[in-house]
Amino acid sequence: MRRRPRSRRDAGAGTYFSPAPPRVLAHRGLAIDAPENTLLAFLRALSIGVTHIETDVHASVDGVAVISHDPDLHRVAGRTVRIDQLTISELRRVDLGDGQTFASLSEALDAFPHARFNIDLKSSDVVGPAVEAIREAGALGRVLVTSFSDRRREAAVRLLPGVATSTSAWTSALALLLAQLGIGFLLRRALRGIHAVQIPPARYGLRIVTPRIVRMLHTVPVEVHVWTINDPIEMRRLLDIGVDGLVTDRADLALAVLENRSVLGE
């Protein structure tokens, strides 16, 4: 069995990195029979045994962290209005299907008090509301905050000492380059304060998640999570090279892959 990095709990990241990897992160919940990023989608994922939910937040006009990947309602509700143009009360009246509507981050954290949440901060104005929601829910130890923007991610981390966090886009690119070059001391410096590197499997047609990359990142040590993986064959390949987390729209398939590997002793 491939050696895993030390527990992230040793790095002051609460219980977010438990149980031990490999882990499944349900991307926007399990949206097979439920609208994405809704309480129902989260419930669907958790009810089949998922422990980690990946989600996104924007700020409403009245300063509430609202669960939504997109900045507007066009794709999910056929409306051109933006999240930051509506109040949370107005957003709760939007029909997303299957009896679901927009939920706040506070509602999700309260509704599922044992779930771990991987929270992508999608805008600068959501940092404060998201931090407030995490604090009020007493959820510091079971969330990971991240963003494609270093500035947004770092602002949240400063306000949430000890919270788990993962690389932003630029830091991920730097870490991958240093890992490929095998420059361990610079890699550890670049990833200081980071608990996970979350990256796609490939860029511009080239695989970037390779055995060498994973081994180098594990020396830091950080976990390696790969998004968004929906093919069981690719899931197995990534697990074979030591990836710690699969971010997936098909948490049901990913759990089946993990269970099969456990039965086979892999």
CATH of the domain at 224: 3.20.20.190
Give the tens place of pLDDT for each residue, 31-63: 999 999 999 999 999 999 999 999 999 999 999
- 266 pLDDT band (50/70/90 cuts)? low
Q: Report pLDDT for 12.
A: 53
The answer to whether residue 6 is domain-embedded is no
Residue 1 belongs to a domain: no
Predicted TM-score (pTM) of this structure: 0.93
- pLDDT over 60 (residue 10): no
Nearest by Cα to 160 from 207, 220, 117? 117
Average pLDDT for 132-156: 97
Is 204 or 188 the better-scoring residue by pLDDT?
Answer: 188
Whole-number pLDDT of residue 44: 98
**In the structure encoding, which two tokens stand for residue 218, read together?**
């594990």
Cβ pair 217, 172 in contact under 8 A: no
Report the chain's mean pLDDT, rounded to a whole number. 94
Active site residue ranges = 27, 69
Quick check: is 208 in a domain?
Answer: yes
pLDDT above 90: residue 178: yes
User: Does 211 sit behind a cis peptide bond, omega within 30 degrees of 0 on the bond before it?
Assistant: no
Which is more confident, 151 or 7? Answer: 151
Question: 212 pLDDT exceeds 80?
Answer: yes
Question: Is residue 257 scored above 90 in pLDDT?
Answer: yes
User: What range does the domain containing 49 cover?
Assistant: 11-264
Residue 2 lies in a domain: no
For residues 28 and 56, the answer to whether their CB atoms sit within 8 Å is yes
Find, among 240, 170, 173, the residue nearest to 210 by Cα: 240
Note the pLDDT of residue 111: 98
Report how far residue 97's alpha carbon sits from residue 93's, in angstroms, rounded to the nearest whole number.
Answer: 12
Higher pLDDT, 129 or 206: 129
Confidence of residue 11 (pLDDT cuts 50, 70, 90): very low
Mean pLDDT, to the nearest integer, of 223-241?
A: 98
Buried b (16+ CB within 10 A) or exposed e, 6-45: eebeebebbebbbeebbbbbbbbbbbeebbbbbbbbbebb
User: How many domains would you assign to the chain?
Assistant: 1
Q: Does any domain span residue 150?
A: yes
Residue 193 lies in a domain: yes
- Among 36, 30, 68, CA closest to 49: 30
Does 191 map to a domain?
yes
Tell me whether residue 244 is in a domain: yes
**Distance between CA 66 and CA 241 in Å, rounded?**
36
